[in-house]
Amino acid sequence: MQEVRHSYREALRDLEKQALGGLDLVTQALDRALESVSYQDVELAGMVVADDDRIDGRYLEVHQGVLSLLARQAPVASDLRILAALLHIIRCVERMGDQCVNIAKLVPLSGYESPKDKDILDSIERMGRHARSQVTQARDAFSSRNVELAQDLVRQDAEINRLNRAIFKRAVEIGDDVDTREWAMFMILVARALERVGDNTVDIAEQVVFVVTGLFREVSDSTPAADAVRPA
């Protein structure tokens, strides 16, 4: 019995490691996608699209692993919460990978020689830095079961949302040049994809609170951290 229990705990730890490792794959894809936008690197953008199979594969591995462990061990209490959270997190990983692909696919469409707007590019770059930071912080928050770190993601996500609105506003005001306006419309889509990456990190933050407290609720920047320390 002791050996079976040890094997089960090892399997649970491995599944969590696999799921959180998926967030590392997302940061790699995000870095490449943003670089391909900055330099209009179509070849690099193609690599982002091709490498999405790795993230999809990770999703399938974790998803099947969680279902298998549920069927074999019938976990309860905190272990069941962890497995439920891992199913949600790996789905967020897969969605964020898809957003990186969406960004990469816009690179060949936006045109290598198209005119560009510095304000929009600067805002895209800032959004990218925030998104990458949030993905890394979401990983750390879940790994350490740190509710305050998770809650801080809401504050960071507000800045991504602000930049997203600023890019849209700038694109609308950009002027009458058709080529510049068309390029700006593509950048609106890039910004939207980055905004969705940020939203997914907030979803992961909610899973941190769920695992720690046993309560599932939306996390907001006004939620007292002390509210989320009661073990279930």
Concatenated DSSP letters of 182-220: HHHHHHHHHHHHHHHHHHHHHHHHHHHHHHHHS------
User: Which pLDDT score, from 0 to 100, does residue 228 have?
Assistant: 43
Q: How many CB atoms lie within 10 A of CB 112?
A: 10
pLDDT in tens, 91-136: 999 999 999 999 999 999 887 776 788 999 999 999 999 999 999 9
Low-confidence spans in the chain with pLDDT less than 70: 1-5, 114, 220-232
pLDDT in tens, 202-223: 999 999 999 999 887 777 655 5
User: Which pLDDT score, from 0 to 100, does residue 222 have?
Assistant: 52
Angle (CA) 106-90-217 rounded to 5° is 105
Question: Residue 176 belongs to what domain range?
Answer: 2-228
CATH code for the domain in which residue 216 is found: 1.20.58.220
User: Which pLDDT score, from 0 to 100, does residue 151 have?
Assistant: 94
Predicted TM-score (pTM) of this structure: 0.89
Domain count, the chain: 1
